[in-house]
Amino acid sequence: MRRGLIGLAAFVLCGMLATEAADAARLGGARSSGVQRSVPKTPPTATPAKPAQQQAAPNQAAPAAQPQPSGLARWMPMLGGLALGGLLGYLFAGNGMGGILLLVLLAVGAVLLFRMFARRGAQSPQPIQYAGMNQGTTVAPPPAEAPGAVMPSAARFPGGFDAASFLRGAKMNFVKLQLANDQGKLDDIREFTTDEMFEALERDVIGRHGVGQQTDIESLDAQVVDFATEGQQHWVSVRFSGRVREAAEADPVDFAEVWNLVKPADGSSGWLLAGIQQMH
């Protein structure tokens, strides 16, 4: 009897959640709308999405030299934390000196591991060799041109295009537009969109009949996947990806969508959102 009741309650709850989730959605209603352009469906790099502060560097014309940790080195904090964190209770529970010795050993081990991974990471580009070539003449390709990467190289961006700060601005506007959409602030949406795109987004807002919603972005990454100048207009396609919770009780979901941004070549206005393309 009780199990039946729990089952019924769970069923009703799931039903409620599903209804909530169906009503609320991020800007553009998680659909493709507006101008659609030809962009690769897959992420531009083979590696998983990284935060802007790390991944934007290859696009910059002259980024400040910053040591990038290798793939495994990036995970070291997490591994170190997880593997070693649980032992501290033991350390403080045991006698002080024995505990500290173990702690020293752990620290030594962590550093040795870290250095090993760091060294391996630094060597990884080297194995790319071509038959018949002397080892001394082989040059590892720069990261942006490595096999598998279809990222447009910095040469394709017009002079003065600072990809890192452009992407930072793009992310801010992404979040701002979600807020404006949640709160039904049409003037804020109009400021960043072309007339055609605004009409589509306005229909979504009006369709909600003033009911507010909360789009909670849990993580956000942005990459420039295309840049083109056509006639009197510059086009940039920015791929946004991450996790988003579209209703308060819903589970967060992965998303990936390309925003096509347009700007008149004469600079008479800033970048405007002209279309959204879903990548999933």
Partner 1 sequence: MKDPTDFGYEQVPEADKARRVGAVFDRVAERYDLMNDLMSLGLHRLWKAFAISIARPRPGDRILDVASGSADLASSIGRRVMPGGQVWLADINRRMLERGRDRVLDDGLLAPAVQCDAERLPFPAEYFDCVTVAFGLRNMTHKDRALAEMTRVLKPGGRLVILEFSKVWKPLERAYDFYSFRVLPWLGKQVAGDAAAYRYLAESIRMHPDQPTLAGMLERAGLSRVEVFNLAAGVVAVHRGYRI
Task: Report the interface residues with partner 1, using CB under 8 A.
Answer: 51-53, 66-67, 69, 73, 76-78, 80-82, 84-85, 87-88, 92, 96-97, 99-100, 103-104, 106-107, 110-111, 114-115, 168, 171-172, 175-176, 179, 182, 214, 216-221, 242, 244
* CB of residue 261 to partner 1, shortest distance in Å: 17
- Indicate the residue among 201 and 244 with the shorter CB distance to partner 1: 244
Structure tokens at 254: 């992965």
- Indicate the residue among 70 and 194 with the shorter CB distance to partner 1: 70
* CB of residue 115 to partner 1, shortest distance in Å: 7
Phi and psi at 182, nearest 5°, equal -60, -45
* CB of residue 228 to partner 1, shortest distance in Å: 26
Rounded-to-integer distance, Cα 71 and Cα 126, Å: 16
- Indicate the residue among 198 and 255 with the shorter CB distance to partner 1: 255
Q: What is the DSSP string of 118-161?
A: HHHHHHTTTT---TT--GGG--PPPGGGSTT--PPPGGGSPTT-
Rounded-to-integer distance, Cα 76 and Cα 116, Å: 11
Q: How many CB atoms lie within 10 A of CB 273?
A: 25
* CB of residue 110 to partner 1, shortest distance in Å: 6
- Indicate the residue among 51 and 207 with the shorter CB distance to partner 1: 51
Phi and psi at 56, nearest 5°, equal -75, -20
